[in-house]
Amino acid sequence: MDDCFDALEARDPAEREAALLVALSAQIAHAQRSSPAYTELLADVDPGAITSRAALAQVPLTRKSSLAAAQAARRALRLGGFAAGMPRRIFQSPGPLYEPEPDADALDPWRLARAMHAAGIRAGQLVHVGFSYHLTPAGAMVEGGLRAIGAASFPGGTGNTDQQLQAMLDLQPQAYAGTPSLLRILLDKAAEAGHPLPGLKHALVSGEACPPPLVAWFAARGVQVSQCYATADLGLIAYETAARDGLVVDEGVLVEIVRPGSGDPLPDGQVGEVVVTTLSPGYPLIRFATGDLSAVMPGTSPCGRTNQRLRGWLGRADQSAKVRGMFVHAGQVADIVKRYPELLRARLVVSGELAQDQVQLQVEAMPLDAAAFVESLMQTARELTKLRVEVVLLPSGSLPNDGQLIEDRR
């Protein structure tokens, strides 16, 4: 059994869920009091009534586009009114989108320590950090986790690979935290120069895909690589453990998987959009839709941690296509599904070429009156998308479980 960062990771799932729901109600009340944006957005929400995940599902989503729009339109309010109080530092992501350090009083504001511990990083080690320290918060996020663990850092950043390699040869770090692509470049350069890095044993990577063949490539060179799922807005969401069996959800967030284009929760195993509520006091994002696709895995991790597990990043949920001169979005397809409880899955398939777009609405359903059902679906689809569509009925299990509501085959 992998050793846990603390006792919270091995809690009884029912105990964790009860604690999360108590904290959730308090966090919503805090957001209403302290964040001008949430004072408006959650005006009709009674925090005391949010005592279950079903109740949470009635709370409106917050999207990244909402943050950017609020920051642009409400410059008099710091960060569009979403921050609660004065942050210690503010960073910038492409867009531009500005993000605060979520908890100015915390040693590890983005909660990266759990992921680092699971990756094998320990107190007293030196960690070469290959994330950016300029504008974006990635380097600062890692530094907080290292402080909480008691590890030291070399802030390498993302460029100057010759200088970074020289530092690694001189300092012989035991671990690395950064993008997998930079780690590969550094290891390749070290091999070319005939100077191996025998002390480098562990790495925590994020920000890019690190598929199994690349993980194996690192392992063949003596580096055990673990991945984590974290964002500047939310901090750590989930992290890999020694079990190599999905990503364990962090103890400081509540994660839902919802149907893309809607806020409707999906059953475990179904691929949908990752929606996260944080418990950070400085940036209390409530039902924040990440735009990423994933699914909750059944059971618990063999490593001994008992929280939910995610399958990892499975694509983007913000799907759209331009059809016959008009945009159609995943939310419109989700609205169709919502009107027909008997629909198991639906997918809008766009095909054709040379301005001859063909549109099919493929649905998993076996109605008693197929003709009437198809006619009703065609009318609803035209009402919601302004498109004439062909409806195709399919038996259960015909459409893949990949979270895709729009497939553009053109």
Tens digit of pLDDT for each residue in 23-52? 999 999 999 999 999 999 999 999 999 999
DSSP 354: T
Q: Please say whether the beta carbons of 149 and 117 come within 8 A.
A: yes
The span from the CA of 26 to the CA of 40, in Å, is 17
Q: How many helices (H) and strands (E) does the chain have?
A: 11, 21
Q: pLDDT at residue 382 above 60?
A: yes
Q: What is the pLDDT of residues 134-180, one digit of tens each?
A: 899 999 999 999 999 999 999 999 889 999 999 999 999 999 999 99
Q: What is the pLDDT of residues 323-374, one digit of tens each?
A: 776 778 888 898 898 899 888 889 999 888 655 778 999 999 988 899 999 9
The span from the CA of 224 to the CA of 217, in Å, is 10
Q: pLDDT at residue 241 above 70?
A: yes
What's this model's pTM, rounded to 2 decimal places?
Answer: 0.84
Residue 353, pLDDT score: 67
The percent helix, strand, coil of the chain (3-state, each to 5) is: 30, 25, 45
Residue 95, pLDDT score: 75
Q: pLDDT at residue 1 above 50?
A: no
Cα 256 to its chain centre, rounded Å, is 10
φ, ψ (nearest 5 deg) of residue 105: -95, -5
Torsion of CA 350, 353, 358, 364, to 10 degrees: -30
φ, ψ (nearest 5 deg) of residue 31: -60, -40
